Amino acid sequence: MEYVRVVSLVPSLTEAVAVTLPGVLVGATDWCSHPAGLDVPRVGGSKYPDLARVLALDPDLVLLNVEENRREDADALVAAGVPVRVTYPRTVPEALTELAGLLAALGATREPAWLDAARLAWADPPRLSPSRRAVVPVWRRPWVVLGSGTFAGDVLRRLGVLNAYEGHPERYPRPPLAELRDVDPDLVVLPDEPYRFTAEDGPEAFPGTPCALLSGRHLTWYGPSLAEAPAVLAAQLARPVSAAPLTRPGDHTPPPAPRRCRRRTGPRPPPAGAASGLSALRSGVRALRPRPAGPPSGPGPGCAPAGRRARSSRSTRRGSAPPP
């Protein structure tokens, strides 16, 4: 089956498809910030897309990710007769393989130069020496960290950073701050998404411990950014910062009463067990089904500004779960 109209609900896949097969992509989420200047109709967030807008674009295929998207949205699309493709890479090699397979399925006759460059870059990436044992928060209030079996955890391992929670039974555990401090890591890794950690927001919670501020896009996205990720992340890991302790609301339990918060530039913290639903669906929907013939359901929505989110500097999203 030929796919000529693709809607992507995964920012990293949006970038991969847009730069490799121009014209195939007909819709993307509000948080799809790359490539710069992407001019396609927007369909809401990745965690809560407007399915009516998606269907109005009459897609031949919708791209999803186990962590980025919700099972119920995948079910609704399949029920409407729309083929979906669900990705779930947990290691760099898996990401490279899934990207190659996706692009080939969409009609690419050869692998793009950026994918070749990514394979080369990850064949022998720079590593911290000696390795550092780290905790990797991806959210605060409440604190959420990388646990076991995550793509970002594999990226860091290949760069010489060993996740202290890699053996945890959960993929995104929510330990209290006191526990994170008691782990006594060599390093705290603070990406700018899904929560937008900065030099002023994050390091002060870990007094005396070096904190590396990383590009969330290069840590969590699997797409063209993989080609430059080893060099970008290695340089950031080599320049950790430290800060004096400050007291911030929500760093201790019990949490404070609800109050008006600053505008969110990224996704909500991942709900417990968030990955399980689409993961269970994945094998069933990977075998893409042709859609029944019929007229388009209507014109697509207008283009919304892609810069609304801070995905690279942004942090995330989307009211969605962390990364892709």
* CATH number of the domain bearing residue 77: 3.40.50.1980
Q: Are 47 and 320 contacting, i.e. CB atoms less than 8 angstroms apart?
A: yes
3-state secondary structure of 49: strand
Q: Is residue 105 part of a domain?
A: no
- C-alpha–C-alpha distance, residues 4 and 96, integer Å: 23
Average pLDDT of the chain is: 82
The dihedral sign for the CA sequence 13, 159, 321, 31: negative
Identify the bridge partners of residue 198 per DSSP, sorted by sequence position: 201
- C-alpha–C-alpha distance, residues 33 and 54, integer Å: 18
The model scores a pTM over 0.75: yes
Q: Is residue 39 part of a domain?
A: yes
- C-alpha–C-alpha distance, residues 218 and 191, integer Å: 9
pLDDT for 316: 40
- C-alpha–C-alpha distance, residues 65 and 70, integer Å: 9
265-284 confidence digits (pLDDT tens): 444 555 555 454 555 455 44
Q: Is residue 44 part of a domain?
A: yes
Q: Is residue 51 part of a domain?
A: yes
pLDDT for 141: 94
Domain count, the chain: 2
Residues 221 and 150 occupy one common structural domain: yes
Residues 142 and 81 occupy one common structural domain: no
Nearest of 24, 62, 61, 64 to residue 40 by alpha carbon: 24
- Cβ-proximal residues to 211 (8 Å cutoff; 6+ apart), any chain: 187, 188, 189, 190, 202, 203, 240, 241, 242, 243
Residues 137 and 215 occupy one common structural domain: yes
User: 162 is in which domain, residue-wise?
Assistant: 125-237
Residues 162 and 81 occupy one common structural domain: no
pLDDT band with cut points at 50, 70 and 90 for residue 44: very high
pLDDT band with cut points at 50, 70 and 90 for residue 132: very high
pLDDT for 322: 43
Identify the bridge partners of residue 212 per DSSP, sorted by sequence position: 189
Residues 293 and 222 occupy one common structural domain: no
- Residue 285 pLDDT exceeds 90: no
Q: Is residue 253 part of a domain?
A: no
Least trusted range by pLDDT, from 135-144, 162-171, 314-323: 314-323
Residues 63 and 144 occupy one common structural domain: no
Q: Which residue has the higher pLDDT, 279 or 182?
A: 182
Burial class, 136, CB count within 10 angstroms (exposed 0-12 / middle 13-18 / buried 19+): buried
Residues 130 and 233 occupy one common structural domain: yes
Q: Is residue 183 part of a domain?
A: yes
- Domain-ending residue, one of 185, 207, 237: 237
- Domain-ending residue, one of 237, 265, 298: 237
Q: Is residue 266 part of a domain?
A: no
Q: Is residue 279 part of a domain?
A: yes
Least trusted range by pLDDT, from 56-60, 81-85, 224-228, 294-298: 294-298
- Residue 30 pLDDT exceeds 80: yes
222-261 confidence digits (pLDDT tens): 999 999 999 999 999 999 998 765 555 555 544 444 444 4
| Region for 106 from its dihedrals, namely left if φ exceeds 0, alpha if ψ lies in -120 to 50, beta otherwise | alpha
Mean pLDDT, residues 132-141 = 97
